[in-house]
């Protein structure tokens, strides 16, 4: 065998070996792809209503209010990762972003399931409160040992008023306390064991991540909703908090005789809290693609995700910016009347 032939043979073997390495070698990345999209006004894959409501008449509407998801490809070869970096419908990210190294895959799934349950509770609270059908109770879950509230309040106390102003939710509680300066007093009315009592506390100071100083009383709280309406959301194998907005819109639409969609195919995403504040989510590009492939023509985008959504929106999909549940209802009302909606570029 000549030297030239041997050189070509070795080069060919090396090339084949490199191809095999690229094809099978695993890399510490995962891919985010468009996932299933479910109409909150309709049924899931098993034929069960996504949202079931008892305690009040419900209405059936045409149109769609689809929640969107992403699918995670948990194990990639180098070839798949390289291909994903050049595919618009895939996002390749470090594995640690989705599966933190200090948590097992099972623990991550449990956290996602818990986040989904919390998003459903918050969506229910936001929708029922908007309809005047729900009341939120703010309960103390923890008192810091060195805080002003230590020895005065305890876990289980329901905070009902601040300086005589009724507490409607946890966000309003923080706002009412935040109106004074650290070191000033605040009068709290609370319910314990069925009895109403009052306590006056001198606020302490706390510094936020942005460097601002605010008054605090040193308690952690949770919101508990009370309503004659019972809402059940049935979706399996879906986790995370990002469907909150669409759940809330679905609940609201089912309880109202007028249609929010007016027959349109509307999709969207966004977290939501009990006060109706809509927050950002991950995988917006994949959700836009998945929604458009499903048939959506309008997509509700959390304001904080608008810049990313504008980078490459699918053709034929109209982006509508929302920041609260009220603003989402307002934008849907604009669609119904033919008025201009707030786009992500606004």
* Model pLDDT, residue 258: 87
Last residue of a domain, one of 226, 248, 276: 226
* Residue 220 structure tokens: 């952690």
Mean pLDDT by runs of 10 across the 346 residues of the chain is 52 44 50 86 89 93 92 63 58 63 71 81 89 87 92 95 91 89 95 95 80 87 84 83 94 94 96 90 92 96 95 93 97 94 90
| CATH classification of the domain holding 218 | 2.30.42.10
The pTM for the full model equals 0.73
* Model pLDDT, residue 112: 77
122 and 235 together in one domain: yes
**Residue at 13 is within a domain:** no
257 and 285 together in one domain: yes
SS (H, E, C) the chain: CCHHHHHHHHHHHHHHHHHHHHHHCEECEEEEEEEEEEECCCECCCCCECEEEECCCCCCCCCEEEEEEEEEECCEEHHHHHHHHCCCCCEEEEHHHHCCCCCCHHHHHHHHHHHHHHHHHHHHHHHHHHCCCCEEEEEEEEECCCCCCECCECCCCEEEEECCEECCCHHHHHHHHHCCCCCCEEEEEEEECCEEEEEEEECEEEECCCCCEEEECCEEEEEEEECCCEEEECCCCCCCCCCHHHHHHHHHHHCCCCCCCCCCEEEECCEECCCCEEECCCCHHHHHHHHHHHCCCEEEEEHHHHHHHHCCCCCCCEEEEECEHHHHHHHHHHHHHCCCCCCCCC
**Residue at 154 is within a domain:** yes
| CATH classification of the domain holding 309 | 3.30.230.10
250 and 122 together in one domain: yes
123 and 255 together in one domain: yes
60 and 153 together in one domain: no
Q: How many independent structural domains does the chain possess?
A: 2
* Model pLDDT, residue 75: 65
**Residue at 346 is within a domain:** no
38 and 113 together in one domain: yes
Domain with 297, as residue range(s), is 33-95+103-132+228-337
Last residue of a domain, one of 173, 192, 226: 226
* Model pLDDT, residue 23: 39
Last residue of a domain, one of 226, 253, 270: 226
């Amino acid at each position: 065998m000549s030297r030239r032939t041997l050189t070509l043979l070795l080069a060919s073997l090396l090339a084949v070996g490199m191809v095999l390495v690229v094809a099978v070698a695993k890399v510490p990345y995962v891919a985010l792809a468009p996932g299933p999209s479910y109409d909150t006004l309709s049924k899931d894959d098993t034929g069960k209503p996504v949202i079931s409501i008892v305690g009040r008449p419900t209405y059936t509407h045409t149109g769609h209010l689809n929640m969107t998801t992403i699918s995670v490809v948990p194990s990639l070869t180098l070839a798949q990762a390289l291909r994903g970096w050049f595919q618009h419908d895939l996002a390749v990210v470090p594995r640690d972003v989705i599966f933190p190294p200090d948590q097992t895959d099972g623990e991550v799934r449990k956290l996602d399931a818990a986040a989904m349950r919390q998003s459903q509770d918050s969506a229910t609270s936001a929708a029922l409160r908007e309809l005047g059908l729900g009341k939120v109770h703010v309960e103390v879950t923890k008192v810091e040992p060195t805080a002003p509230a230590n020895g005065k309040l305890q876990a289980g106390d329901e905070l009902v008023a601040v300086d005589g102003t009724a507490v409607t939710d946890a966000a309003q509680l923080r706002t009412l306390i935040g109106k004074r300066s650290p070191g000033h007093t605040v009068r709290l009315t609370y319910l314990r064991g069925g009895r109403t009592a009052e306590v006056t506390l001198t606020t302490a100071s706390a510094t936020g991540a942005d460097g601002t100083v605010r008054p605090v009383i040193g308690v952690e709280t949770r919101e508990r909703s009370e309503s004659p309406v019972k809402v059940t959301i049935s979706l399996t194998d879906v986790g995370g908090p990002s469907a909150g907005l669409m759940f809330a819109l679905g609940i609201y639409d089912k309880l109202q005789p007028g249609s929010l969609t007016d027959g349109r195919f509307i999709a969207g995403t966004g977290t939501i809290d009990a006060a109706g504040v809509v927050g950002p989510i991950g995988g917006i590009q994949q959700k836009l693609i998945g929604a458009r492939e499903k048939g959506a023509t309008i997509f509700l985008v959390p304001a904080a995700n608008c810049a990313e959504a504008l980078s490459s929106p699918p053709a034929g999909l109209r982006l509508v910016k929302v920041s609260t549940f009220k603003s989402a209802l307002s934008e849907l009302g604009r669609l119904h009347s033919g008025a201009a909606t707030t786009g992500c570029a606004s």
